[in-house]
Structure 1
Amino acid sequence: MSKLDSPLGLLTAFLLRVPLIFKTILLHGIRLSPVTGKQDLRTELTVAIIRSLIAFTSSPVGKQQKDSLRDPGIKGPMWVSKVTLPRPEDDVQDAVVKAIEDLKVGDETYNLPGVVPVEAEWTGYRSGVGKNAPQPDISEEAKYEELRKESKEDMVILYLHGGAYFLLDPCTHRPVVTQLSKRTGAAVLSVRYRLAPQNPFPAALIDALVAYLSLVSPPPGSLHDPVPPKKIIIAGDSAGGNLSLVLLQTILTLRRVCPIVRFHGRDVPIELPAGVATSSPWCDVTRSMPSVTHNSIYDYLDPPSQNPEIAYRPLAVPEDDVWPVKPPRVDLYANANALLHPLVSPLAGREELWKGAPPIFIAMGEEGLSDEGLILARKMHRVGVPVTVEQFEGMPHCFGMVMMGSPAGRRFYDGTAQFCRDAVAGKLTADTPTSGNVTYVGYKLQHTHEIPLEKAVPLTDDEVDEMLRKSAQWRVEGEKELEQEWLGKAKL
């Protein structure tokens, strides 16, 4: 990624991809492209170029992470106020541990990461300025006051960014959250949660819960007033969609096992948000479902290997002080024996766990992760959760982020914003019946039709569970072998 920071690097990257660009344009023009009728030229080029950039990424994990965190600066029609949410008592970690232990199904293991201050950004839409307008040189408090003047709704969106749990940052998602603020009139709190592999599960979940409780019960010195839970929408994309769903599952679980948490000297009741809105949520960290392969033609995410000889090996990039870790793990985010915990892979949880959940919105493309999102939505609907699902034909992973100005991108943001407004206004509640269908949005938005969730993925629950179990077991066995190799080297 760093090679793209200089004009020479950009030119080199473009020249290397000229043959790919011409090939894509030619095949598309003569209608011999494998995605003809599913993707327009802009979409096909976007997918091809992103896929090629990812394919050439062989840098150490630490370098990939550092490059992805580079701040592009703040300019244009957005207000950004940077804040640090102070460290609360250890009770927040204790509450998360109670939820993890209550939902355990086996011998899952994890590290206790501790509780830390959490950095975040308040973001809002700034009207009346050009796309290159600089942020005024005023205090963070003054910036917050300005964004609240323009974000006039009493809704707050708690945003959790994507990036496979080890990349990206609130600074990379400012355009995304600004669009949400513009369309909803809400202020957005975008969280800089701790990243793996340095901070594996459940560090990010603890940080997300700290941010949620900070909205409900502001710590001393906060810029914001208390936000009623029914005015909060939790939102996120990809891994941030995963984190949004597992934060909700944590809240649901704590309401049973630990309904009050000590937070900055106050006893704070655990209450549900108005709703959860996700984009291309990563619901299965093992990526075991058939769509990871079947839909790879439309996506820039390569399917993972299903060969057990390869699946359990750590990410094959040059070693650095970040990865691989010691003792070794096969997965960046969690221990192999925890990959099917409901707070790691929500797809693996029992459907009963979602009873009583508030409205949930899931948008996705025809992408690698679509099966897991559709199956999870099926589980939710079966227990009465009002879940709204939209799938866009031929669109890749997180298309709303990578193709923001496209017709599908605009439709995605409009749909998400409408869901947020309806949930906060009480037009959608936990008791609202929904159709149980997927709204399938056709190529170029030319048509839509409804597909029952029960028929959207032709897999039974038993087949899904077996795929998850098999994929996780490969990783458990591989991780044990890696640990033995590591211990053997350590004795030498």
Structure 2
Amino acid sequence: MAKIRLLAVLRELLLRIPLVLKTVLLHVLRLSPVTGKQDLRTELTVAIIRSFLSFSMPVSKQQQRSTHDPGVRGPLWVSKVRFPRPEDDVRRAVFAAIDALKTGGETYDEPGVMPVEAEWTGYRSGVGRRTPLPDISEEEKYKRLLKESPADMTVIYFHGGAYYLMDPCTHRVTTSRISKLTGAPVLSVRYRLAPQNPFPAALVDALVAYLSVLHPPPGSLHAPVPASKVVFMGDSAGGNLCLVLLQTLLTLRRVAPTVRFHGRDVPVELPAGVSLFSPWCDMTRTMPSIVINAKYDYLDPPPCKLPLHHAHPEPAPPETLYHPWPFPDDHVWPCNPPRVDIYSNANAVMHPLVSPLAGSKDLWKNSPPIFITMGEEGLTDEGLLFARKVHQAGVPVIVEQFEGMPHCFGMIMVGSRAGRRCFEAWTGFSRDVVAGRIKKRSAKEEEAEPAASRIGKVTFIGYKLRWEKQIPLDEVHPFNDDKVEALMRQGKQWRVESEKALLSRWYASKKAKL
């Protein structure tokens, strides 16, 4: 089986030789649109990944491939756990938070609460890259993991994958490296994927995982962890999940400050901080960088014209509807009844627990510190605008942006200088926030504490790390909050009208079959 997979990969790479040659030639001749911002390695990486991301494969097959477990080998410990199903109070708490933040008309599925699987991951020293895990119990693996993860903190990690792909097994290199750099055990959560399990199923699972870390259910391998020793970390859609879980906790502290969990009423507590890589903050995908930065990124813009944009400043013509992602039909997608987005109903894309960029900045008051690292990518604008919003709510926020780098670049180019630098900052914040070193301070205190001097600013890091400059978050983007909201509302309405047309055709088709 492994040999078959290897041959399939080699075949796909051979088919891309013309693409590689073209990319190299344009780069050498300095005719590439990314000249001066990406080196050859980065440009080739982006071009090859982009060529693999297509709409030619059904969603279920994509999911099957992206969640395939290749086994555990090399310098990492993995201990698999399954947290038991708690009371329905957990899902009701999520619904209460959703309803408290509604602005009107949003609809959503009401998923059940389920057992949640996860992987405790840690760095394993003194072994080769092909060394398998020893044949011991999950409990013994966890004990050995803890011996090599002595830091007094715990990371809860949520993987990316647009909410419909990937798994903890795909992110083991990332989570083991986080463990190595922080010295902490990392709980990587297997949340339910869309479109089979749309919003808010992943959020319910995330809350179950968090409460299970703080208040271990019977049979758990770990001891209780204080909330002040927990950091949420995630990439892309996992970054979104970190933020909406945090907003759920902030909202519940206002409307329902305790939750029934395995027979006890437990308080709703906040983690020490949140540390994110290329977070997805705007499900409407209407910020300018979605199109403007596409040349640096492997994530393409939506497969249809945006309604309002720098690139398309006028509203889309009435006949141009937002179309569902055009994957080949299978039993998973399109949904039944259909919707235009894989993750949520169209009328919910501006709910703050779907798009963290939406909603009032006051919702983020009293949030713990937040760190964001990103490239010059499609999601750049929404990340910067979200950071500005939270900063203006009084939250300590630190942002780093790397010139010319694509989405989650540090995870796909681990050994590059930019990749090493972003991982050091990403994990360094996590250590600092648990130690209490991330908080707003006076100018004099900032001079004595380098971490404090970055709060409330974005640090722009130039091509090949050749230069750096800091800009206050208040000055980071020309769009004001009203402009951002107008763009998002246009994107939402575009989806709502398209989903209505889609449902109308679906109901007409069903009626015709009767």
Give me the TM-score of the superposition, normalised by structure 2: 0.93
> Is contact 1:384–1:433 with CA below 8 Å preserved after alignment?
no
Is 2:420 the partner of 1:386?
no
Matched, 1:368 2:378: yes
**Hey, what's the Cα distance between the residues in 2 that align with 1:73 and 1:404?**
20
The residue aligned with 2:353 is 343
For residues 452 and 48 of structure 1, the distance between their equivalents in structure 2, rounded to whole angstroms, comes to: 33
Q: Is 1:40 aligned to residue 60 of structure 2?
A: no
Q: CA deviation at 1:436?
A: 2.1
Decide whether the 8 Å contact of 1:386 with 1:434 is kept in 2. Answer: no
Describe the superposition over 1:365-410 as per-residue Cα deviations: whole angstroms up to 9, x where unpaired: 0000000000000001111100000000000001111111111111
Report the AA paired with residue 272 of structure 2.
A
CA distance in 2 between partners of 1:422 and 1:8 (Å): 45
The secondary structure found in structure 2 opposite 1:233 is: strand
1:447 equivalent among 453, 467, 480:
467
Aligned to 1:240: 238
Does the aligned pair in 2 maintain the 1:162–1:239 contact within 8 Å?
yes
- CA drift of 1:455 comes to 2.5
Q: Secondary structure at the match of 1:50?
A: helix
The residue aligned with 1:331 is 341
Q: Among residues 299, 321, 325, which one is paired with 1:315 in the alignment?
A: 325
For the Cα contact (< 8 Å) 1:274–1:429, is it kept in 2? no
User: Contact 2:94 / 2:248 at 8 angstroms: preserved in 1?
Assistant: yes
How far is 1:4 from its partner?
10
Give the partner amino acid of 1:474: W
Equivalent pair of 1:160/1:244 in contact (CA under 8 Å):
yes
Matches of 2:485 and 2:3, distance apart in 1:
42
Q: 1:99-114 counterparts in 2 under 5 A?
A: 99-114=97-112
Where does 1:329-478 land on structure 2 (aligned, <5 Å)? Answer: 329-429=339-439, 435-478=455-498
1:266 to 264, 267, 288: 264
Q: Determine helix, strand or coil for the equivalent of 1:347.
A: coil
Give the distance between the partners of 1:286 and 1:141, measured in 2 at CA. Answer: 43
1 CA distance for matches of 2:455 and 2:146? 36
Matches within 5 A, 1:162-241: 162-241=160-239
Change (3 A) 1:3 1:478: farther
CA-atom RMSD in angstroms: 1.6
Distance 1:4 1:16 in 2: 18
Letter in 1 for 2:252: L
CA shift, 1:327, in A, is 1.1
Counterpart in 1 of 2:311?
A: none
* Counterpart Cα distance in 2 of 1:419 and 1:294: 29
- Paired residue total: 490
Q: Which residue of 2 aligns with 1:490?
A: 510
Distance 2:473 2:85 in 1: 42
Distance 1:203 1:75 in 2: 31
Cα distance in 2 for residues equivalent to 1:354 and 1:325: 34
Identify which of 272, 296, 318 aligns with 1:298: 296
Q: Secondary structure at the match of 2:188?
A: strand
Offset at residue 429 of structure 1 (A): 4.2
Counterpart contact for 1:4–1:13, Cα < 8 Å = no
SS of residue paired to 1:252: helix
Aligned equivalents of 1:470, 1:386: Cα separation in 2: 31
Does the CA contact (< 8 Å) of 2:440 and 2:455 recur in 1?
no
Shift, 1:312, TM fit? 2.4
Q: Deviations over 1:112-147 (max 9, x none)?
A: 111000000000000011111111110000000000
- Which string of whole-angstrom CA distances, capped at 9 and with x for unpartnered residues, describes residues 151-200 of structure 1? 00121000000000000000000000011000000000000000000000
Distance 1:143 1:260 in 2: 33
Separation in 2 of the partners of 1:310 and 1:17?
Answer: 33
Alignment-mate amino acid for residue 395 of structure 1: M
Percent identical residues: 64
Q: Which secondary structure state, in structure 1, belongs to the residue aligned with residue 357 of structure 2? A: helix
Question: Which position in structure 1 is the counterpart of 2:21?
Answer: 22
| Letter of the 2:248 counterpart | T
Post-superposition Cα deviations, 1:337-389, rounded to whole Å, max 9, x if no partner, equal 00000000010121111100001000000000000000000001111100000
Aligned residue type for 2:286: S
Q: 1:11 deviation in Å?
A: 2.4
Structure 1: distance between partners of 2:290 and 2:138: 43
- Structure 1: distance between partners of 2:471 and 2:262: 47
Matches of 2:394 and 2:153, distance apart in 1: 25
Q: Distance in 1 between the 2:409 and 2:131 partners?
A: 26
> Are the aligned partners of 1:59 and 1:317 in contact in 2 as well (CA < 8 Å)?
yes
Q: Decide whether the 8 Å contact of 2:397 with 2:457 is kept in 1.
A: no
What CA deviation, in whole Å up to 9, does each residue of 1:424-483 have, x standing for no partner?
111124887864221001111111111222232211211111110001101001111111
Aligned AA for 1:275? Answer: G
Matched AA of 2:206: A
Alignment check: 8 A CA contact 2:340 2:346 kept: yes
Structure 2 counterpart of 1:341, one-letter code: H
- TM-score, normalised to structure 1, is 0.97
Gaps of 5+ in 1: none
**What is the alpha-carbon distance in structure 1 between the residues aligned to residue 199 and residue 3 of structure 2?**
31
- Structure 1 residue identity aligned to 2:102: K
Alignment partner, residue 95 of structure 2: 97
Q: CA deviation at 1:234?
A: 0.5
